[in-house]
């Protein structure tokens, strides 16, 4: 974030030093978070992740709820040590299954996030080139305190990433 802010200051400094360059400089902003949340690709990834991992997660959560009920029963001093040990073993096994599932899901999500970032850069570049922008800043990460709405290219980048996604249909079932 600091690097983007410094780059912004550098560009603005150049603008004030050279009136000729300032006239040619065209800066746009994009709310990358909006693109990440609202693009067709993001929606497909979310749907894919839910279909791939959602049922297993619900199953493990139900098992966890059942164990919680058993934990209440174990508070009774009449419950034997053997049942307590068995409960602990089952709880550890469930925790391990849940950690493994979450690690797999997080690893796959990270791969999709990397693909999403490369598509966002490609879409932003295409929009910038087609509209004559020299610089596009992320309004959420770039330290932008004010920007004229005419500079906001979020909708254009969102449309472009949807086009790129449809053209290069990524197989989410891998």
Q: What is the pLDDT of residue 7?
A: 52
pLDDT recorded at residue 130:
92
- Given a contact cutoff of 8 angstroms between Cβ atoms, the answer to whether 29 and 145 are in contact is no
Q: In this predicted model, what pLDDT tens digit does every residue of 61-86 receive, in sequence order? A: 999 999 988 888 878 888 788 888 89
pLDDT by residue (tens digit) across 107-131? 999 999 999 989 998 999 999 999 9
pLDDT value of position 142: 67
Low-confidence ranges of the chain (pLDDT < 70): 1-23, 142-147, 169-174
Q: What are phi and psi of 29, to 5 degrees?
A: -125, 155
Q: Is the pTM of this model over 0.85?
A: no
Q: How many residues would you count in the chain?
A: 174
Check residue 81 and give its pLDDT: 84
Nearest CA among 99, 104, 98, 94 for reference residue 49: 104
Burial 129-153 (b: 16+ CB within 10 A, else e): eeeebeebbbbeebbbeeeeeebbb
**Three-state SS for 138?**
strand
Reply yes or no on domain 2-167 having CATH 3.40.50.300.
no
Q: Residue 164 in 3-state DSSP?
A: helix
Residues in CB range of 118: below 8 A, 6 or more apart? none
- Per-domain boundaries in the chain: 2-167
């Amino acid at each position: 974030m600091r690097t983007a802010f410094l780059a912004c200051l550098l560009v603005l400094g150049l603008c004030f030093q050279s009136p000729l360059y300032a006239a040619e400089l065209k800066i746009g902003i994009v709310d990358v978070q909006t693109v990440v949340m609202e693009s067709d690709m993001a929606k497909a990834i979310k749907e894919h992740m839910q279909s791939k991992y959602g049922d297993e997660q619900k199953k493990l959560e139900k098992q966890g709820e059942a164990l919680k009920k058993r934990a209440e029963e174990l508070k009774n001093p009449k419950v034997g040590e053997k049942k307590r040990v068995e409960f602990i073993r089952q709880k550890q096994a469930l925790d391990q299954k849940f950690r493994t599932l979450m690690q797999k899901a997080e690893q796959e999500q990270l791969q999709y996030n990397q693909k999403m970032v490369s598509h966002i850069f490609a879409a932003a570049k295409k929009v910038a080139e087609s509209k004559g922008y020299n610089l596009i800043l992320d309004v959420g990460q770039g330290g932008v305190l004010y920007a004229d709405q005419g500079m906001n290219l979020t909708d254009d980048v969102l449309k472009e990433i949807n086009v790129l996604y449809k053209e290069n249909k990524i197989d989410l079932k891998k």
